[in-house]
Protein backbone atom coordinates (compact mmCIF):
# COMPACT_ATOMS: atom_id res chain seq x y z
CA UNK A 1 0.00 0.00 0.00
CA UNK A 2 1.16 3.52 -0.73
CA UNK A 3 1.89 6.24 1.80
CA UNK A 4 -1.52 7.73 0.97
CA UNK A 5 -3.50 4.62 1.87
CA UNK A 6 -5.92 5.11 4.75
CA UNK A 7 -8.19 2.57 6.39
CA UNK A 8 -11.79 3.18 7.44
CA UNK A 9 -14.48 0.94 8.87
CA UNK A 10 -15.80 0.39 5.34
CA UNK A 11 -12.47 -0.42 3.68
CA UNK A 12 -9.23 1.21 2.62
CA UNK A 13 -8.40 4.00 0.21
CA UNK A 14 -6.88 3.10 -3.16
CA UNK A 15 -4.19 5.60 -2.17
CA UNK A 16 -2.33 7.68 -4.72
CA UNK A 17 -3.74 7.62 -8.24
CA UNK A 18 -2.60 9.03 -11.57
CA UNK A 19 -4.57 10.54 -14.43
CA UNK A 20 -3.52 8.95 -17.71
CA UNK A 21 -4.29 9.75 -21.32
CA UNK A 22 -5.16 7.72 -24.40
CA UNK A 23 -5.30 9.33 -27.83
CA UNK A 24 -7.01 7.83 -30.86
CA UNK A 25 -8.94 8.88 -33.99
CA UNK A 26 -5.84 10.39 -35.52
CA UNK A 27 -6.60 11.80 -38.99
CA UNK A 28 -7.50 10.43 -41.44
CA UNK A 29 -9.19 7.85 -39.16
CA UNK A 30 -11.27 10.45 -37.34
CA UNK A 31 -14.22 9.79 -35.03
CA UNK A 32 -17.66 10.25 -36.52
CA UNK A 33 -20.26 11.46 -34.02
CA UNK A 34 -24.04 11.17 -34.09
CA UNK A 35 -24.53 14.75 -35.22
CA UNK A 36 -22.94 13.79 -38.54
CA UNK A 37 -19.66 15.59 -37.96
CA UNK A 38 -16.18 14.20 -37.35
CA UNK A 39 -13.41 14.97 -34.89
CA UNK A 40 -9.86 13.83 -34.40
CA UNK A 41 -7.59 13.26 -32.74
CA UNK A 42 -9.46 12.53 -29.50
CA UNK A 43 -7.62 12.35 -26.17
CA UNK A 44 -9.25 10.57 -23.25
CA UNK A 45 -8.34 11.20 -19.60
CA UNK A 46 -8.77 8.08 -17.48
CA UNK A 47 -7.78 6.42 -14.23
CA UNK A 48 -7.65 2.78 -13.22
CA UNK A 49 -7.89 1.15 -9.79
CA UNK A 50 -6.98 -2.44 -9.01
CA UNK A 51 -5.46 -5.02 -11.36
CA UNK A 52 -6.84 -6.71 -14.47
CA UNK A 53 -6.78 -10.48 -13.90
CA UNK A 54 -5.24 -13.07 -16.19
CA UNK A 55 -8.41 -13.89 -18.11
CA UNK A 56 -9.46 -10.20 -18.18
CA UNK A 57 -12.82 -11.00 -16.64
CA UNK A 58 -12.85 -8.64 -13.64
CA UNK A 59 -13.14 -5.22 -15.31
CA UNK A 60 -15.70 -2.68 -14.08
CA UNK A 61 -16.40 0.56 -15.92
CA UNK A 62 -17.51 3.54 -13.82
CA UNK A 63 -19.46 6.26 -15.65
CA UNK A 64 -19.42 9.66 -13.97
CA UNK A 65 -22.32 12.08 -13.60
CA UNK A 66 -22.80 15.34 -15.51
CA UNK A 67 -19.87 17.39 -14.21
CA UNK A 68 -17.74 14.57 -12.83
CA UNK A 69 -14.45 13.27 -14.15
CA UNK A 70 -12.09 10.30 -14.19
CA UNK A 71 -10.98 10.85 -10.59
CA UNK A 72 -13.35 8.42 -8.90
CA UNK A 73 -11.21 7.42 -5.93
CA UNK A 74 -7.96 8.06 -4.11
CA UNK A 75 -5.70 11.10 -4.11
CA UNK A 76 -3.27 12.70 -6.54
CA UNK A 77 -1.05 14.20 -3.84
CA UNK A 78 -0.81 14.32 -0.07
CA UNK A 79 -2.10 17.91 -0.20
CA UNK A 80 -5.43 16.98 -1.83
CA UNK A 81 -8.27 18.33 0.29
CA UNK A 82 -10.68 15.60 -0.78
CA UNK A 83 -10.48 12.25 -2.57
CA UNK A 84 -12.16 11.16 -5.80
CA UNK A 85 -15.90 11.61 -6.21
CA UNK A 86 -16.83 8.00 -5.20
CA UNK A 87 -14.04 7.20 -2.78
CA UNK A 88 -16.67 5.99 -0.32
CA UNK A 89 -17.53 3.15 -2.73
CA UNK A 90 -14.31 2.32 -4.59
CA UNK A 91 -11.31 0.78 -2.85
CA UNK A 92 -9.96 -2.33 -1.07
CA UNK A 93 -12.79 -3.91 0.92
CA UNK A 94 -15.36 -1.34 -0.20
CA UNK A 95 -18.56 -1.89 -2.17
CA UNK A 96 -16.56 -1.96 -5.40
CA UNK A 97 -13.58 -3.90 -4.07
CA UNK A 98 -10.36 -3.04 -5.92
CA UNK A 99 -8.69 -6.11 -4.41
CA UNK A 100 -11.03 -8.08 -6.68
CA UNK A 101 -11.89 -5.78 -9.57
CA UNK A 102 -10.06 -3.72 -12.15
CA UNK A 103 -11.98 -0.43 -12.20
CA UNK A 104 -11.77 2.05 -15.08
CA UNK A 105 -13.18 5.58 -15.07
CA UNK A 106 -12.71 8.12 -17.86
CA UNK A 107 -13.77 11.69 -18.46
CA UNK A 108 -16.46 11.92 -21.15
CA UNK A 109 -15.93 13.50 -24.56
CA UNK A 110 -17.11 17.11 -24.47
CA UNK A 111 -15.83 17.49 -20.91
CA UNK A 112 -13.04 19.69 -19.62
CA UNK A 113 -11.08 17.42 -17.30
CA UNK A 114 -8.56 16.13 -19.81
CA UNK A 115 -10.75 14.54 -22.48
CA UNK A 116 -11.20 16.40 -25.76
CA UNK A 117 -13.92 19.03 -25.52
CA UNK A 118 -14.73 22.60 -26.57
CA UNK A 119 -11.82 24.02 -24.53
CA UNK A 120 -9.32 21.74 -26.33
CA UNK A 121 -7.16 23.03 -29.15
CA UNK A 122 -8.58 22.52 -32.62
CA UNK A 123 -5.66 21.19 -34.69
CA UNK A 124 -7.09 22.89 -37.78
CA UNK A 125 -6.86 26.36 -36.24
CA UNK A 126 -4.48 26.08 -33.29
CA UNK A 127 -7.15 27.73 -31.13
CA UNK A 128 -9.72 26.23 -28.72
CA UNK A 129 -12.70 24.69 -30.49
CA UNK A 130 -15.35 26.73 -28.70
CA UNK A 131 -18.64 26.23 -30.51
CA UNK A 132 -16.80 24.68 -33.47
CA UNK A 133 -16.72 21.53 -31.35
CA UNK A 134 -19.36 19.09 -32.63
CA UNK A 135 -22.44 18.43 -30.52
CA UNK A 136 -21.96 15.05 -28.86
CA UNK A 137 -24.40 12.53 -27.39
CA UNK A 138 -24.43 9.89 -24.68
CA UNK A 139 -23.88 7.31 -27.42
CA UNK A 140 -20.75 9.18 -28.53
CA UNK A 141 -19.49 9.11 -24.94
CA UNK A 142 -19.98 5.35 -24.80
CA UNK A 143 -18.24 4.76 -28.12
CA UNK A 144 -15.20 6.69 -26.86
CA UNK A 145 -15.22 4.63 -23.66
CA UNK A 146 -15.26 1.44 -25.74
CA UNK A 147 -12.19 2.61 -27.68
CA UNK A 148 -10.41 3.19 -24.37
CA UNK A 149 -11.32 -0.25 -23.03
CA UNK A 150 -10.07 -1.90 -26.21
CA UNK A 151 -6.80 -0.02 -25.75
CA UNK A 152 -6.59 -1.41 -22.20
CA UNK A 153 -7.23 -4.96 -23.43
CA UNK A 154 -10.73 -5.20 -21.94
CA UNK A 155 -13.17 -7.03 -24.20
CA UNK A 156 -15.75 -8.04 -21.58
CA UNK A 157 -17.07 -6.05 -18.64
CA UNK A 158 -18.04 -7.66 -15.36
CA UNK A 159 -20.20 -4.59 -14.72
CA UNK A 160 -20.91 -1.05 -15.87
CA UNK A 161 -21.91 1.28 -13.03
CA UNK A 162 -23.00 4.91 -12.98
CA UNK A 163 -25.47 7.39 -11.57
CA UNK A 164 -27.46 10.24 -13.11
CA UNK A 165 -26.03 11.00 -16.58
CA UNK A 166 -23.57 8.22 -15.81
CA UNK A 167 -26.59 5.94 -15.47
CA UNK A 168 -27.67 6.92 -18.98
CA UNK A 169 -24.26 5.75 -20.17
CA UNK A 170 -24.79 2.46 -18.32
CA UNK A 171 -28.10 1.89 -20.12
CA UNK A 172 -26.54 2.81 -23.46
CA UNK A 173 -23.73 0.33 -22.87
CA UNK A 174 -26.21 -2.45 -22.09
CA UNK A 175 -28.20 -2.02 -25.30
CA UNK A 176 -25.42 -0.88 -27.67
CA UNK A 177 -22.85 -3.52 -26.73
CA UNK A 178 -24.90 -6.34 -25.17
CA UNK A 179 -22.28 -9.04 -25.72
CA UNK A 180 -19.67 -7.02 -23.86
CA UNK A 181 -21.69 -6.26 -20.71
CA UNK A 182 -22.23 -9.01 -18.14
CA UNK A 183 -24.07 -6.79 -15.66
CA UNK A 184 -25.16 -3.19 -15.21
CA UNK A 185 -26.03 -0.92 -12.27
CA UNK A 186 -27.88 2.26 -13.29
CA UNK A 187 -28.36 4.52 -10.26
CA UNK A 188 -30.73 7.48 -9.90
CA UNK A 189 -31.19 7.75 -13.64
CA UNK A 190 -33.70 7.73 -16.48
CA UNK A 191 -34.08 6.52 -20.05
CA UNK A 192 -35.01 10.04 -21.16
CA UNK A 193 -35.26 13.48 -19.62
CA UNK A 194 -38.65 14.76 -18.59
CA UNK A 195 -39.80 18.20 -19.70
CA UNK A 196 -38.97 19.40 -16.17
CA UNK A 197 -35.36 18.21 -16.40
CA UNK A 198 -34.95 19.75 -19.86
CA UNK A 199 -36.43 23.00 -18.58
CA UNK A 200 -33.92 23.31 -15.73
CA UNK A 201 -31.05 22.58 -18.10
CA UNK A 202 -32.27 25.17 -20.58
CA UNK A 203 -32.53 27.89 -17.91
CA UNK A 204 -28.98 27.02 -16.83
CA UNK A 205 -27.72 27.23 -20.41
CA UNK A 206 -29.44 30.56 -20.92
CA UNK A 207 -27.74 31.90 -17.79
CA UNK A 208 -24.37 31.15 -19.42
CA UNK A 209 -25.27 32.47 -22.85
CA UNK A 210 -26.73 35.68 -21.38
CA UNK A 211 -23.39 36.51 -19.77
CA UNK A 212 -21.71 39.11 -22.06
CA UNK A 213 -18.36 37.45 -21.43
CA UNK A 214 -19.59 34.23 -23.04
CA UNK A 215 -19.05 35.96 -26.40
CA UNK A 216 -20.70 33.27 -28.50
CA UNK A 217 -18.49 30.64 -26.89
CA UNK A 218 -15.26 32.40 -27.91
CA UNK A 219 -13.96 33.54 -24.52
CA UNK A 220 -10.74 31.53 -24.30
CA UNK A 221 -7.75 33.74 -23.75
CA UNK A 222 -9.92 36.33 -22.02
CA UNK A 223 -12.35 36.46 -19.13
CA UNK A 224 -14.64 33.45 -18.84
CA UNK A 225 -18.41 33.92 -18.30
CA UNK A 226 -18.01 33.26 -14.59
CA UNK A 227 -21.25 34.84 -13.45
CA UNK A 228 -23.36 32.95 -15.97
CA UNK A 229 -21.68 29.64 -15.17
CA UNK A 230 -22.07 30.27 -11.44
CA UNK A 231 -25.80 30.87 -11.82
CA UNK A 232 -26.09 27.76 -14.02
CA UNK A 233 -24.48 25.69 -11.29
CA UNK A 234 -26.76 27.19 -8.65
CA UNK A 235 -29.78 26.17 -10.72
CA UNK A 236 -28.44 22.65 -11.18
CA UNK A 237 -27.53 22.28 -7.53
CA UNK A 238 -31.10 23.00 -6.47
CA UNK A 239 -32.28 20.04 -8.54
CA UNK A 240 -29.76 17.74 -6.85
CA UNK A 241 -31.18 18.38 -3.38
CA UNK A 242 -34.66 17.84 -1.93
CA UNK A 243 -37.13 19.79 0.17
CA UNK A 244 -36.20 17.67 3.19
CA UNK A 245 -32.50 18.21 2.59
CA UNK A 246 -33.02 21.97 2.26
CA UNK A 247 -35.08 22.13 5.45
CA UNK A 248 -32.62 20.03 7.42
CA UNK A 249 -29.49 21.76 6.19
CA UNK A 250 -30.72 25.38 6.01
CA UNK A 251 -34.40 25.96 6.75
CA UNK A 252 -34.70 29.78 6.97
CA UNK A 253 -31.61 30.29 9.10
CA UNK A 254 -29.71 33.52 8.55
CA UNK A 255 -26.07 33.65 7.47
CA UNK A 256 -23.71 35.50 9.82
CA UNK A 257 -26.33 37.99 10.96
CA UNK A 258 -29.08 38.35 13.55
CA UNK A 259 -31.66 40.02 11.32
CA UNK A 260 -32.46 40.54 7.65
CA UNK A 261 -30.47 43.21 5.81
CA UNK A 262 -33.23 44.82 3.71
CA UNK A 263 -30.89 44.69 0.70
CA UNK A 264 -29.77 42.05 -1.81
CA UNK A 265 -26.96 40.51 0.16
CA UNK A 266 -27.08 36.83 1.06
CA UNK A 267 -29.30 37.00 4.14
CA UNK A 268 -30.10 33.29 4.32
CA UNK A 269 -27.74 30.36 4.69
CA UNK A 270 -29.16 28.72 1.59
CA UNK A 271 -28.35 31.84 -0.47
CA UNK A 272 -24.78 31.86 0.79
CA UNK A 273 -24.44 28.13 0.15
CA UNK A 274 -25.62 28.41 -3.45
CA UNK A 275 -23.31 31.34 -4.14
CA UNK A 276 -20.41 29.36 -2.72
CA UNK A 277 -21.24 26.30 -4.82
CA UNK A 278 -21.52 28.46 -7.92
CA UNK A 279 -18.15 30.12 -7.36
CA UNK A 280 -16.43 26.84 -6.56
CA UNK A 281 -17.75 25.36 -9.79
CA UNK A 282 -16.40 28.27 -11.86
CA UNK A 283 -12.92 27.46 -10.58
CA UNK A 284 -13.00 23.92 -11.98
CA UNK A 285 -15.36 23.74 -14.96
CA UNK A 286 -15.66 25.16 -18.47
CA UNK A 287 -18.86 26.98 -19.44
CA UNK A 288 -18.98 25.55 -22.97
CA UNK A 289 -18.55 22.02 -21.63
CA UNK A 290 -21.55 22.63 -19.38
CA UNK A 291 -23.59 23.60 -22.45
CA UNK A 292 -22.51 20.53 -24.42
CA UNK A 293 -22.98 18.00 -21.62
CA UNK A 294 -26.42 19.22 -20.56
CA UNK A 295 -27.51 19.12 -24.19
CA UNK A 296 -26.25 15.55 -24.52
CA UNK A 297 -28.29 14.59 -21.46
CA UNK A 298 -31.40 16.29 -22.85
CA UNK A 299 -31.03 14.55 -26.21
CA UNK A 300 -30.79 11.08 -24.68
CA UNK A 301 -33.86 8.95 -25.43
CA UNK A 302 -33.18 5.23 -25.14
CA UNK A 303 -36.56 4.06 -26.41
CA UNK A 304 -36.48 6.31 -29.46
CA UNK A 305 -32.87 5.64 -30.39
CA UNK A 306 -32.95 1.86 -29.89
CA UNK A 307 -36.60 0.86 -29.85
CA UNK A 308 -38.46 3.04 -32.34
CA UNK A 309 -40.41 4.57 -29.45
CA UNK A 310 -40.83 1.36 -27.45
CA UNK A 311 -38.87 0.91 -24.23
CA UNK A 312 -39.61 -2.82 -24.28
CA UNK A 313 -38.17 -3.05 -27.77
CA UNK A 314 -35.10 -1.06 -26.74
CA UNK A 315 -34.29 -3.44 -23.90
CA UNK A 316 -34.81 -6.47 -26.14
CA UNK A 317 -31.23 -5.81 -27.25
CA UNK A 318 -29.82 -6.18 -23.72
CA UNK A 319 -28.42 -9.37 -22.19
CA UNK A 320 -26.98 -8.09 -18.91
CA UNK A 321 -28.15 -8.68 -15.38
CA UNK A 322 -29.39 -5.39 -13.92
CA UNK A 323 -29.51 -3.77 -10.51
CA UNK A 324 -31.66 -0.63 -10.78
CA UNK A 325 -31.63 1.75 -7.83
CA UNK A 326 -33.71 4.88 -7.18
CA UNK A 327 -34.04 7.16 -4.15
CA UNK A 328 -37.25 8.28 -2.49
CA UNK A 329 -36.38 12.00 -2.43
CA UNK A 330 -34.98 12.23 -5.97
CA UNK A 331 -37.41 14.52 -7.78
CA UNK A 332 -35.10 15.09 -10.74
CA UNK A 333 -35.21 11.41 -11.77
CA UNK A 334 -38.10 10.10 -9.65
CA UNK A 335 -38.72 6.45 -8.91
CA UNK A 336 -41.51 6.07 -11.47
CA UNK A 337 -38.88 6.46 -14.19
CA UNK A 338 -36.78 3.63 -12.74
CA UNK A 339 -39.89 1.46 -12.42
CA UNK A 340 -40.67 2.03 -16.09
CA UNK A 341 -37.28 0.70 -17.16
CA UNK A 342 -37.56 -2.24 -14.76
CA UNK A 343 -40.95 -3.14 -16.23
CA UNK A 344 -39.53 -3.06 -19.75
CA UNK A 345 -36.55 -5.20 -18.68
CA UNK A 346 -38.83 -7.79 -17.08
CA UNK A 347 -40.98 -7.97 -20.21
CA UNK A 348 -37.80 -9.11 -21.94
CA UNK A 349 -37.20 -11.75 -19.23
CA UNK A 350 -33.98 -10.06 -18.18
CA UNK A 351 -32.42 -10.76 -14.79
CA UNK A 352 -33.28 -7.53 -12.97
CA UNK A 353 -33.31 -6.47 -9.32
CA UNK A 354 -34.80 -3.17 -8.20
CA UNK A 355 -34.53 -1.22 -4.98
CA UNK A 356 -35.88 2.16 -3.97
CA UNK A 357 -33.71 3.41 -1.12
CA UNK A 358 -35.18 5.72 1.50
CA UNK A 359 -32.97 8.81 1.53
CA UNK A 360 -33.63 12.44 2.40
CA UNK A 361 -30.87 14.03 0.34
CA UNK A 362 -32.40 14.09 -3.12
CA UNK A 363 -30.76 13.19 -6.41
CA UNK A 364 -27.24 13.40 -4.97
CA UNK A 365 -27.99 10.56 -2.53
CA UNK A 366 -26.11 8.03 -4.65
CA UNK A 367 -22.88 9.99 -4.06
CA UNK A 368 -23.25 10.12 -0.28
CA UNK A 369 -22.34 7.44 2.28
CA UNK A 370 -25.15 4.91 2.43
CA UNK A 371 -24.60 1.44 3.92
CA UNK A 372 -27.69 0.09 2.14
CA UNK A 373 -26.35 1.09 -1.28
CA UNK A 374 -22.92 -0.32 -0.47
CA UNK A 375 -24.46 -3.66 0.55
CA UNK A 376 -26.61 -3.76 -2.57
CA UNK A 377 -23.72 -3.13 -4.94
CA UNK A 378 -21.35 -5.52 -3.17
CA UNK A 379 -23.96 -8.27 -3.05
CA UNK A 380 -24.94 -7.82 -6.69
CA UNK A 381 -21.32 -7.93 -7.89
CA UNK A 382 -20.76 -11.08 -5.81
CA UNK A 383 -23.85 -12.77 -7.27
CA UNK A 384 -22.91 -11.93 -10.84
CA UNK A 385 -19.46 -13.37 -10.19
CA UNK A 386 -20.93 -16.58 -8.76
CA UNK A 387 -23.30 -16.92 -11.71
CA UNK A 388 -20.30 -16.67 -14.02
CA UNK A 389 -18.44 -19.39 -12.11
CA UNK A 390 -21.51 -21.67 -12.14
319, 181 Cβ separation under 8 angstroms: yes
- Nearest in space to 89 (alpha carbons), one of 62, 53, 52, 56: 62
Residue of 13, 164, 316, 321 marked catalytic: 164
Q: How far is CA 303 from the centre of its chain?
A: 20
189, 333 Cβ separation under 8 angstroms: yes
Residue 179 is among the residues annotated as catalytic for this protein:
no
User: What is the distance between the alpha carbons of residues 183 and 359, in angstroms, rounded to a whole number?
Assistant: 25
Determine what percent of the chain falls in helix, strand and coil, rounding each to the nearest 5: 40, 20, 45
Q: How far is CA 277 from the centre of its chain?
A: 18
Spell out a b/e string for 11-23, using b for 16 or more CB atoms within 10 Å of the CB, else e.
Answer: bbbbbbbeeeebe
Residue 259 is among the residues annotated as catalytic for this protein:
no
Residue of 158, 321, 363, 364 marked catalytic: 363
User: What is the distance between the alpha carbons of residues 75 and 204, in angstroms, rounded to a whole number?
Assistant: 31
Please provide residue 158's backbone torsions phi and psi, each rounded to the nearest 5 degrees: -65, -40
Task: Show the DSSP H helices in the chain as ranges.
Answer: 138-151, 165-176, 195-209, 226-240, 243-249, 269-282, 287-299, 302-307, 311-315, 335-347, 371-389
User: What is the distance between the alpha carbons of residues 64 and 67, in angstroms, rounded to a whole number?
Assistant: 8
List beta partners, residue 357.
Answer: 327
Residue 363 is among the residues annotated as catalytic for this protein:
yes
Residue of 97, 140, 330, 364 marked catalytic: 330
- Positions annotated as catalytic residues are 164, 330, 363
Amino acid sequence: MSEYTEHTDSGASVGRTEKRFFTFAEPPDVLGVESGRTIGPVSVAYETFGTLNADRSNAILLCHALTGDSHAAGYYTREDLKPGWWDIMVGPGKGIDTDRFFVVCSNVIGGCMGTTGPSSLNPATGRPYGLDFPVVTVADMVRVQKALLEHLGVTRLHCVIGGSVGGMQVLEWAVRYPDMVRSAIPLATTTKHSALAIAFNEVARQAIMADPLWNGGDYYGGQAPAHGLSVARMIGHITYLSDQAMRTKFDRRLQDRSDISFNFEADFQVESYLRYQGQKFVDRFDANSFLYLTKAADYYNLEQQHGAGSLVQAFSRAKASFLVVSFTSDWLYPTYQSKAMVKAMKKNSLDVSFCEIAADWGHDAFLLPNPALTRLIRGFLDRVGQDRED
